[in-house]
């Protein structure tokens, strides 16, 4: 199931009330092109930006089963389109005449093995070879995935839940885009130069990052958060 936001309207309102120090702010003050509208399957520009830059769309939450059609290449190995692999509940080799052969997933005759973290799927752990199958007019020893286009179907659950940091990134990117769209309203909060709390002093809105003074611009802070996102293995396949 597609998702169109990591943050709820209530979270957006709470966040920007705090940033703007304006108790009258409501999420509908933000244009839909930036905020999006999940109820009508509209992804806003902030959501799109974080996904493009992360090169991944996190699940929220993980749980829905996904189906992928992969290309066999005559080798014993395939890579999952997503990692980590949480479960694989079906693996089928599809012949040219559309007949299907199920790969056994459970012991004692288990034929399929996978590495959850890397997404590697294999038929030949430790060099073992399993019984053969008919694939069209050809008989194969089940030690490889026969070469073909979208001839291996896997079904399972993949990926990780959306981490809290991705929510913060979506709201910060949203705020940054609002500064360009309505600078008279949003530049005030974004251009704070200095704030002192007791003996501690912070500088915001300056360009660049100074490791000695620990000051950062909004852009630099966003960059730092992107660097802290979980790294996900992805490949160019499409879920169906």
Q: φ, ψ for residue 96 (rounded to 5)?
A: -65, -25
> What tens digit of pLDDT does each residue of 8-62 get?
999 999 999 988 888 999 999 999 999 998 888 899 999 999 999 988 888 766 6
Coil vs helix vs strand at 138: strand
Mean pLDDT of 178-205: 62
Give residue 190's pLDDT.
53
- CB 36, CB 47: distance < 8 Å: yes
Q: How far apart are CA 120 and CA 133, in angstroms?
A: 22
The residue ranges of every structural domain in the chain are 9-60+161-227, 66-158
Give me the sign of the Cα torsion angle 26, 31, 34, 38: positive
Q: How far apart are CA 197 and CA 81, in angstroms?
A: 48
Q: Among 23-27, 103-107, 137-141, which stretch is predicted with the lowest mean pLDDT?
A: 137-141
Longest dimension (CA), the chain: 80
Nearest CA to 2 among 30, 45, 40? 40
Can you give the pTM of this predicted structure? 0.61
Q: Which residues of 138-168 are buried (b: 16+ CB within 10 A; e: fewer)?
A: eebebbbbbebeebbbbebbbbbebeeebbb
Report whether pLDDT(221) > 90. Answer: no
């Amino acid at each position: 199931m597609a998702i169109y936001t990591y943050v709820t309207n209530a979270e957006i309102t709470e966040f920007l009330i705090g940033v703007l120090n304006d108790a009258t702010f409501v999420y509908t003050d933000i244009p839909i092109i930036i905020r999006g509208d999940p109820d009508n399957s509209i992804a806003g520009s902030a959501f799109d930006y974080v996904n493009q830059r992360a090169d991944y769309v996190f699940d929220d939450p993980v749980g829905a089963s996904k189906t992928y059609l992969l290309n066999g290449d005559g080798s014993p190995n395939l890579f999952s389109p997503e990692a980590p692999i949480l479960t694989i509940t079906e693996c089928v080799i599809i012949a040219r005449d559309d007949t299907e052969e199920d790969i056994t997933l459970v012991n004692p005759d288990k034929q399929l093995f996978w590495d959850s973290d890397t997404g590697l799927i294999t038929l030949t752990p430790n060099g073992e070879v399993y019984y053969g199958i008919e694939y069209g007019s050809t008989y194969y020893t089940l030690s490889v995935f026969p070469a073909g286009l979208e001839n291996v179907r896997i079904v399972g659950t993949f990926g990780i839940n959306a981490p809290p940091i991705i929510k913060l990134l979506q709201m910060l990117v949203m705020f940054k885009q609002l500064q360009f769209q309505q600078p008279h309203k949003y530049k005030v909060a974004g251009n704070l130069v200095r704030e002192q709390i007791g003996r501690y002093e912070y500088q915001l809105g300056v360009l660049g990052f100074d490791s000695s003074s620990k000051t950062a611009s909004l852009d630099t802070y966003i960059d730092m958060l992107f660097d802290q996102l979980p790294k996900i293995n992805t490949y160019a396949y499409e879920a169906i």
